[in-house]
Structure 1
Amino acid sequence: MSPAAAQLPFFVYGTLRPGEPNHDVHLRGRVAAEEPARLAGAVLYAGPGYPYLVEDPEAGPVRGELITALPSAYDRLLAELDVLEDYAPGDPRNLYERVVREVTLLDGATARAWVYVAAARVAAG
């Protein structure tokens, strides 16, 4: 991971959103800020029991939240979210890929964030 990407916020759009089951399990007490945001060029699917996002330049935006982790919780949270999202760098069995994308906040400002998008084998299904 490059130093510039080391502590990016996370764009969440499914079970990690406030009020959803994984929010309390993984994010409670570890978040410095949560802001409504949207990601252009993507489509949200209900999926087989969990939502997933597929990139599509003609689609979007997908609404979600930009989650900024507390610096002291960041490394552990990143590792836990990778496990939750069934992501390991370079693993062809991944359900999701963790990518850097630009999201837009309600005030029009933009931010770079980690986004878990459907891996090719999930997106193709």
Structure 2
Amino acid sequence: MESETAPAAALEAAPAHEQRPFFVYGTLRPGAYNHDRFLAGRIGSEADAVLHGAVLHDGPGYPYVVPAEEGRVVGTLLTPSAGDYGELFGLLDRLELPVGYERVAMDVVRTGDGARVSAWVFLATPDAPLGPVIESGDWFKRP
């Protein structure tokens, strides 16, 4: 775990004007393995959300999202606790970027109030090992 969470000099925190919540849709969602391992106790707020215009693919133990005209992905919008943003920004990049993701700002919709929110989303890179599409768009409801 230390190598997964050790600071990386090349990765810096997002500038304050770019601090967005994170939209997570797989093992980083509340109740999932990596949420409990890396994010528990560091999140100030969370809200159910949906990413439209994307599909969810199964992967090698974790899912990938790919933009698509049709489709939707179910997930959670996570806002880090005050003072934890920079650390979590770097941690998530170190976890996700080496295994076939790229971080992109996208609009997601909070399901509770319908608000459109700009969030960081980790999308599949072109060489990511995509498995079959998860038709429900929900990692927790995959077959």
Q: Does 1:116 align with 2:122?
A: yes
Pick from 42, 54, 57: which aligns with 1:30? Answer: 42
Instruction: Give the Å deviation of 1:123.
Output: 6.9
Distance in 2 (alpha carbons) for counterparts of 1:2 and 1:44 = 29
Q: For structure 1, which runs of at least 5 residues remain unmatched after alignment?
A: 88-93
1:44 partner SS: strand
Contact map agreement 2:59 2:130 (CA 8 A) in 1: no
Instruction: Give the Å deviation of 1:26.
Output: 1.3
Structure showing greater radius of gyration is 2
2:97 partner SS: coil
Instruction: Give the Å deviation of 1:71.
Output: 2.6
Counting aligned pairs with the same residue, the percent is: 48
Pick from 52, 57, 62: which aligns with 1:50? Answer: 62
2:31 partner SS: coil
User: 1:84 is matched by which residue type in structure 2?
Assistant: L
Structure 1 stretches of at least 4 aligned residues deviating more than 3 Å after TM superposition: none
User: Taking structure 1 as reference, are residues 43 and 123 closer, same or farther at Cα in structure 2, changes over 3 Å only?
Assistant: farther
User: 1:4 is matched by which residue type in structure 2?
Assistant: H
Pick from 68, 74, 87: which aligns with 2:79? Answer: 68
TM-score (norm 2): 0.75
Pick from 77, 96, 120: which aligns with 1:85? Answer: 96
How many residues matched?
117
Instruction: Give the Å deviation of 1:83.
Output: 1.1
1:4 — aligned with what?
A: 17
Q: For structure 2, which runs of at least 5 residues remain unmatched after alignment?
A: 1-13, 132-143
Contact map agreement 1:54 1:123 (CA 8 A) in 2: no
Deviation per CA, 1:44-79: give whole Å up to 9, x if none: 01112211111112x221000000001311111111
User: 1:67 is matched by which residue type in structure 2?
Assistant: L
TM-score (norm 1): 0.86
Q: Which has the higher contact order (CA 8 A, sep 6+)?
A: 2
